[in-house]
Amino acid sequence: VSTSPEISPVSCADPFDPLSLSCAEALARILAALTPVAGHECVALRAAFGRILASDVASAIDVPLATNSAVDGYAVRVADLGDAGMQLKIAGIALAGAPFHTRLAPGHCVRVMTGAVMPEGTDTVVMQEHAEVGDGRIRVTRGYRRGDNVRAAGEDLRRGQVALPAGRRLNAAELGLLASLGIGEVSVRRRLRVAFFSTGDELRSIGEPLAEGQVYDSNRYTLYGMLSALGAEVIDMGVVRDRPEAVRAAFEEAAACADVLITSGGVSVGEADYVRDALREIGQIEFWKVAMKPGRPFAFGRVRDAVFFGLPGNPVAVMVTFYQFVAPALRRLAGEARIEPLTVQARCTSRLNKKPGRTEYQRGVLEWDRDGALVVSRTGPQGSGILRSMTEANCFIVLAPERGPVEPGAIVEVQPFFGLV
Ligand code: AMP
Ligand code: MG
């Protein structure tokens, strides 16, 4: 099963001012225009790693299946522990996978190992550290309450209960949980096919010599990494020269095979108007000036049936706009339920240049100080072409539009890369 992602047409009559679109508004508009792909497939558990669950998975069994011991020790009837110094006779042993089958008589206990099914007639497990053993008997040195150190059947999950909801990304814990339910195959949403290319006559590929004014194309590599981390099927279309026919042909080719097309470069105002012309002919594109730094020029819309993102050319701007807009959009298209990134507050130890007007995504290093408080400092120079600021960072420092310069000691909002990337 496979259908194209859908995007609602963008109306020219929208009352907003495109010159002052806020980040929150841009993201809201993008998400509102997208619905998840409908296609799904059944895959084996290991192959499901990183994929998005297409439907709820209910447990076919109680977890745990039987009431069992949570520790190594002695299964007892708590009522037998009444008298201090009372001794219990060891009637036998139960191991995980090797139960003790005889019903326990009063005044007896059973040696149990973690995971062993609770012998009939017992209700509590005395930890071995709290039992003095001698002559085939134990003496319990502590008080116990009924049910201590016992895992009840179904306490984790009841048979029929939803173990994992549709829309969950299947990471290590989810694979383990599914395995614990004996589930070897799951229905997942199909992978998104994402095509991308770079534009710019100054771009060279690795292996080619650089002449003056030329740069190596790095955006296709950051995009490859960011898309792969999201589990997308990546279609790298290379560098497309700044020529109308070349750009147009690339758009057609991408739209024919991909759910999503991402370009970088060439979306600045006044530049490469034929890109706009081509896009306007075969798609519905809004060119937005999002009030953000880096990454102001940004295009969103549709090329034929493919969702289109036109990212700025500058390498850091590509990454910032990707993580703020494209990643949530791809998560939504892929059917993922949780797309909100984690944000935390931290004390900033650097002075940050900031002018009021735009949301800034400065690159920072988040860590604990000696007192155990979260602190963040910026990575060196913050130019939107300085990719090293991303490699050295582990978070974005997000500064709201109204904010001015940040003095050391001020509290700032931080988006850790962990979970975001
Ligand atoms: P543009 O948005 O096309 O005006 O590009 C802005 C800046 O980003 C220019 O300095 C470009 O050389 C640079 N740039 C554009 N595309 C890439 C790319 N794929 N890799 C590295 N730098 C790029
Ligand atoms: Mg360019």
Distance 363 CA to ligand 2 centre (A): 24
**Nearest-angstrom CA–CA distance, 169 and 329:** 15
Write down the pTM of the prediction. Answer: 0.87
pLDDT for residue 71: 97
Contact 295, 321 (CB under 8 A): yes
C-beta 265 within 6 A of ligand 1:
yes
Distances (CA, A) of 63 to 19, 96, 187, 344, 348: 56, 15, 22, 35, 46
Tell which atom from ligand 1 comes closest to the C-alpha of 271: 4
Q: How far is CA 274 from CA 127, 245, 246, 279, in A?
A: 76, 9, 11, 8
Q: Are strands 108-112 and 73-76 parallel, antiparallel or unpaired?
A: antiparallel
Inter-residue contact 375 to 410 (CB < 8 Å): no
Average pLDDT over residues 177-182: 94
What does the alpha-carbon distance between residue 181 and residue 64 come to, in Å, rounded to a whole number?
9
Buried-state track 72-98, b at ≥16 Cβ within 10 A, e below 16? bbbbbbbebbeeeeebbebbeebeeee
Phi, psi of 106, rounded to the nearest 5 degrees: -55, 150
- What is residue 8's predicted lDDT score, i.e. its pLDDT? 44
Averaged pLDDT, 337-348 = 94
Judge whether 169 and 335 are in contact, CB under 8 Å.
Answer: no
The separation between the first and the last C-alpha atoms of the chain, rounded to the nearest angstrom, is 29
pLDDT tens digits, one per residue of 107-145: 999 999 999 999 999 999 999 999 999 999 999 988 899
With cut-offs at 50, 70 and 90, classify the pLDDT of residue 256. Answer: very high
**What is the number of residues in the chain?**
421
| The pLDDT value given to residue 192 | 98
> How is residue 22 written in tokens?
């806020």
Q: Which ligand is nearest to the CA of 224?
A: 1
For residues 278 and 267, give the distance between their C-alpha atoms in angstroms, rounded to a whole number: 13
Q: How far, in Å, is the centroid of ligand 2 from the Cα of 247?
A: 12
Binding site membership of 294 for ligand 1 (Cβ less than 6 Å): no
Q: Which residues are CB-neighbours of 98 under 8 A, at least 6 positions away?
A: 116
Q: Is the CB of 36 under 6 A from ligand 1?
A: no
Task: Give the pLDDT mean for 319-345.
Answer: 96
User: Phi and psi dihedrals of 314, rounded to 5?
Assistant: -60, 130
| Cβ atoms 31, 24 nearer than 8 A | no
Question: What's the pLDDT band for 243 if we cut at 50, 70, 90?
Answer: confident
pLDDT score, position 295? 87
When mean pLDDT is compared across 244-248, 348-352, 353-357, 399-403, the lowest value belongs to 244-248
Nearest ligand, CA 198: 1
Mean pLDDT of the chain: 91
Rounded Cα distance between 304 and 195, Å, is 14
pLDDT at 421 over 60: no
242 lines ligand 1 (CB under 6 A): no
- pLDDT tens by residue, 1-15: 344 554 444 433 343
Within 8 A by CB and 6+ apart from 269, the residues are 287, 289, 297
CB distance 299 to 288 below 8 Å: yes
Share of the chain above pLDDT 90, in %: 79
**Region 269-279: what's the mean pLDDT?**
68
Q: What is the pLDDT of residue 235?
A: 98
pLDDT of 208 over the 70 cut = yes
Establish whether residue 382 lines the binding site of ligand 1, counting it when its CB lies within 6 angstroms of any ligand atom.
no
Q: Ligand 2 centroid vs 348 CA: distance in angstroms?
A: 35
The ligand whose atoms approach the alpha carbon of 219 most closely is 1
47/296 Cα distance (integer angstroms):
38
- Kindly give the distance from the C-alpha atom of residue 97 to the centroid of ligand 1, in angstroms, as a whole number: 63
What's the rounded mean pLDDT across residues 385-401? Answer: 96
Q: Which of 202, 72, 204, 207 is nearest to 149 (CA)?
A: 72
Q: What is the pLDDT of residue 420?
A: 62
User: Which atom of ligand 1 lies nearest, measured to the CA of 202?
Assistant: 12
Question: Alpha helix (H) ranges present in 97-233?
Answer: 172-180, 219-229
The tokens for 196 are 């991308």
Is 321 a pocket residue for ligand 1 (Cβ < 6 Å)?
no
Ligand with an atom nearest the CA of residue 206: 1
- How far apart (Å, rounded) are the C-alpha atoms in residues 189 and 332? 11
pLDDT, one tens digit per residue, over 67-96 is 999 999 999 999 998 765 679 999 999 999
Query: What is the edge-to-edge ordering of all strands in the sheet holding 233-240?
Result: 233-240, 193-199, 260-264, 306-311, 297-303, 283-289
CA dist 342 and 149 (Å) reads: 35
Place of tokens 């090293």: 388
Averaged pLDDT for residues 333-361:
95
Which residues lie across from 7 on neighbouring strands? Answer: 34
Question: What pLDDT is attached to residue 40?
Answer: 96
pLDDT value, residue 5: 53
Among protein residues, the one whose CA lies closest to atom 10 of ligand 1:
314
Does residue 200 line the site of ligand 1, with CB under 6 A? yes
Please report the pLDDT score of residue 269 as a whole number. Answer: 60
